Amino acid sequence: MRYYIPSNPITGANLSATGFFEDTVNGEIVPQGDIWNPNIAYPANAMVVGADGQLYIANSANLDSAPPADVWREVGSSHQLAENLASASGASEVGFVQAGEGAVPRNLQEKVREQLSATDFPVVGDGVTDDTAAIAKLESSHAGRYVDLLGKTYLVSALPTNNYYFNGTFKRASDGFLFDAGYIGQTRVGNHAVVIGKGAGAALPKFIEYKKAGNPYNVIAIGDSAMAANTTARNSIAIGVGAMQNTVNGRYNIAIGLESQYCVNSNDGANTAGTRNIGVGDNTLRFNVTGYSNIAMGRNAGQSITNGNFCTALGSAALYGLAPLDLDDTTILNQTPLTVDHQTMIGSNAGMMSNAEGNTCVGADCGSEIKKGTLTAFGWQAASTLEVDSSFDGFQRVTGTTKTGTYVWNVNTITVTIAAHGFSAGWRVRIGLGAHEAQYMTIVSVPDANTFTLSTALSPTQNSESGVAKVIEWVTLMAITPVSDVMAIGRKALYSGKTCSNSIAIGAVAQFQSQGINNTSVGNLTLSAATTGTRNTAVGYSALRALTTGTDCVAVGEFAASNITTGSQVTALGRSALRNSQDGSVTATFNNITGVGYDSRVSGDNQVQLGNSATTTYVYGTVQNRSDLHDKADVRDTVLGLDFIKALRPVDYRWDMRDDYAEPYEEEDGIDAEGKPIIVRKIRQLPKDGSKKRARFHHGLIAQEVQTLIERTGVDFGGFQNHAVDGGCDVKTIGYDELIAPLIKAVQELASMVDQLRGSR
């Protein structure tokens, strides 16, 4: 078959249509002048040659005039070639071979199909027309391919997941949310820099000269907007969306995590400012600008540090501060800028608000409320509420009470209505407005007892906004004196203490709720019930465990003075010293007592007990009693003499002490602050049956007989004591050294009588 085409194609003719220059009866072009057959149904716009030799367009049974085509050339089978090339598979008719020896010959269709774009399917990509069906066809035809979106936005009902899309966005039809198709982000390597992510290193020069002054060499920025503002910072690593986003200058910084070291910047040109920081975790060291040599690991660790140096924060929210979202629900506020140096916080929430130089807290929730006070604490929840009643900048903070009302937000003014709120202008309230996150705001004015106003630089998204207002805490203008030099070591040591300056608590639950100052305790549960007691020292498990308001007490030894509650000036040395009284009851409220030795007991106030019932006291020298005239008044010759001595009945006896019949036992006495049972050691008195009677005879007086003598004669003897008087135990004692003076008097009287007898001879 031979084909002819005009040298000048005729406009509007369908040159590729079936029947072009063809006689559909026999399929051949016939000689000029004998072509058109009115009985043949030609395709629309088919071109035929009329009997006059002119070129016509055949429409049904008519010939329409067409421009003359009197110049023809024979091209063999070019018409068929044109049809083939114009077909969907026409690219397969064209060969291709890549440059280079050994390259494999292929056709153009194979080569072109290596690239896939969204427009290969019937998409629009204007963000308005629904492209769901077209994208679905692409997804059903291909999987695991990289698809170029050509910078367009495609409206879809569901996000495609079979392929990897880039260089464009998908718009979700349900809410209009734009999803960046970033499976292949911006990647840049070389010149001692690695930059991966949309907007990462956006301000970096295109060519970086290594080690040239002012060049940002040796940088790694991975993540959207990571190190986006960097123009001169060097030797730094930023990995994570927004990591070191605002860094222009600086060096030796490592930021890993969402917006880690977001603000760091060596903006003053100093050698160290804004350098040598490490942040690992979302928002770590977020607000630090010029601080240097800081380490923060864990979400929000060190977030509120602004220019502190040499600080270490390890653990989620360690040295976190308070950083809520602003009323735009997007911007993160730093409401507790931490500015001091040399703080070390290790553990979740450790030293969360700490703003005093040199503070150290190790353990989850350890020192989590310390602000401007100085603290060293180790252990879970050790000193966790210390300074809870103080704001981070040292003013009275009120918590534990919620006040609820309503608010109206117009332009930059927020009017809050809460009945009888009790606030004053200048106070700060931590307030939640509607669905916005609670934040501190300063009261601008107080029009009346039920209303106050706040100010914000923001405006509501609509003309106005209103809803429920909830104040969860507030800060007055009253300054609070910071605590000083507190040490808490051990689980929940000084757990709920708030104002205990100059105190040391070492041991689990030591000084658990103490608010007193100048207390020292070493050992689990030491001073664990103390509230306002001050100047106490307890060493040994459970020493001074029950003391609440007592002062100036010293207890050394396991359970030493462990039952004292409100007594003061108590000194107990030895295991269970002064734990119980001489009658077996609990020693709780005695004052000015001393017990030395295991289980030493007193019977009342103002006593010293050496040892227990099994103890013998030995001394190398005599015991000296105070006898100075300057310490005595109303001195007289003793009225006790021979008659008193003669009335006494000296006896021999074996000891059968009640103390020896006291049997210790333990019982549960309530629940402590941790929900654990409180075990109290008590004494039960066994029947005195002589089983504890001792072997040797001793010599002395019977106190009850001396008491009877005193009552009968009406003459007092200072060596007798009834300890039941003034609340002591039912124990009677004799001070034998006070018998010396009456004995001397008796001897003198006898000597006088002897002299008289001699003189009468």
Does residue 501 register a pLDDT over 90? yes
Report the run of H or E that residue 78 belongs to, with start and end. helix 78-86
Strand runs (DSSP E) across 537-607, as ranges? Answer: 537-539, 554-556, 570-573, 593-596
pLDDT at 66: 42
Q: Which CATH architecture has domain 396-479?
A: Beta Barrel (2.40)
Average pLDDT of the chain to the nearest whole number: 87
Token pair 């013998």 in the structure block, residue: 616
DSSP for 613-681, please give it.
TT-----SSPPPPP--GGG--S----S-SHHHHHH---EEEE---GGGGEEEEEEEEEE-TTSPEEEEE
- The 10s digit of each residue's pLDDT in 126-158 is 999 999 999 999 999 999 898 999 999 999 999
- The 10s digit of each residue's pLDDT in 423-477 is 999 999 999 999 999 999 999 999 999 999 999 999 888 889 999 999 999 999 9
- Identify the CATH homologous superfamily for domain 117-182: Endosialidase, N-terminal extension domain (3.30.750.60)
Q: How confident is the model at residue 49 (pLDDT cuts 50, 70, 90)?
A: low
pTM across the whole model:
0.74
Report, as an integer, the average pLDDT of 605-629. 89
- The 10s digit of each residue's pLDDT in 204-222 is 886 677 777 777 889 999 9
Tell me which DSSP letter residue 737 carries: G
Is 585 or 466 the better-scoring residue by pLDDT? 466
Tokens describing residue 357: 């130089």
Of 251, 212, 221, 213, nearest to 235 (Cα)? Answer: 251
| Least reliable range by pLDDT among 16-25, 456-465, 491-500, 648-657 | 16-25
Report, as an integer, the average pLDDT of 263-286. 89
Of 432, 433, 414, 424, nearest to 473 (Cα)? Answer: 432
Residues in the chain: 761
Report the run of H or E that residue 403 belongs to, with start and end. strand 403-410
3 state SS of 355: coil
pLDDT at 734: 95
- The 10s digit of each residue's pLDDT in 667-716 is 887 776 667 787 777 788 899 999 999 999 999 999 999 999 999 999 99
pLDDT at 26: 37
Most confident of 37-51, 62-76, 114-128: 114-128
pLDDT at 725: 86
| CA 83 centroid distance within chain | 73
Biggest alpha carbon–alpha carbon distance for the chain? 202
Does residue 44 register a pLDDT over 50? yes
Of 662, 663, 664, 660, nearest to 692 (Cα)? Answer: 660
- How far is residue 113's CA from residue 55's CA, in Å, rounded to a whole number? 41
325-330: which pairs have CB atoms within 8 A and are 24 or more residues apart?
325/436, 325/437, 325/439, 326/439, 326/458, 327/409, 327/433, 327/436, 327/439, 327/456, 327/458, 328/458, 329/436, 329/437
Does residue 46 register a pLDDT over 70? no
Would you say 475 and 491 are in contact if contact means Cβ atoms under 8 Å apart? no
Burial class of residue 671 in the structure, from the number of CB atoms within 10 Å of its CB (0-12 exposed, 13-18 middle, 19+ buried): exposed
pLDDT at 30: 34
pLDDT at 52: 57
Report, as an integer, the average pLDDT of 730-737. 92
Q: How confident is the model at residue 269 (pLDDT cuts 50, 70, 90)?
A: low
Does residue 178 register a pLDDT over 90? no
| Least reliable range by pLDDT among 3-17, 613-627, 675-689 | 3-17
pLDDT at 41: 63
pLDDT at 60: 46
pLDDT at 85: 79
Report, as an integer, the average pLDDT of 737-760. 92
Report, as an integer, the average pLDDT of 634-651. 95
Rg of the Cα atoms in the chain: 50
Of 323, 259, 256, 269, nearest to 295 (Cα)? Answer: 256
3 state SS of 750: helix
